Amino acid sequence: MDPTTVVRSTESIAAVLSILVGSSFAAVAQARVICAAMDSMARQPEISGELRFTMIIGLAMIESLAIYCLLVSLILLLLKW
Render pLDDT for 7-65 as a digit per residue (tens, 0 to 9).
Answer: 888 888 988 998 999 899 999 999 999 999 999 999 999 999 999 999 999 999 999 98
pTM above 0.85, yes or no: no
Non-local CB neighbours of 6 within 8 Å, separated by 6+ positions: none
Domain that holds residue 17: 3-78
Question: DSSP label at 46?
Answer: G
Question: Domain count of the chain?
Answer: 1
CA dihedral for 16, 19, 22, 27, sign (positive or negative):
negative
47: CATH: 1.20.20.10
How far is the C-alpha of 81 from the C-alpha of 65, rounded, in Å? 25
Higher pLDDT, 80 or 34: 34
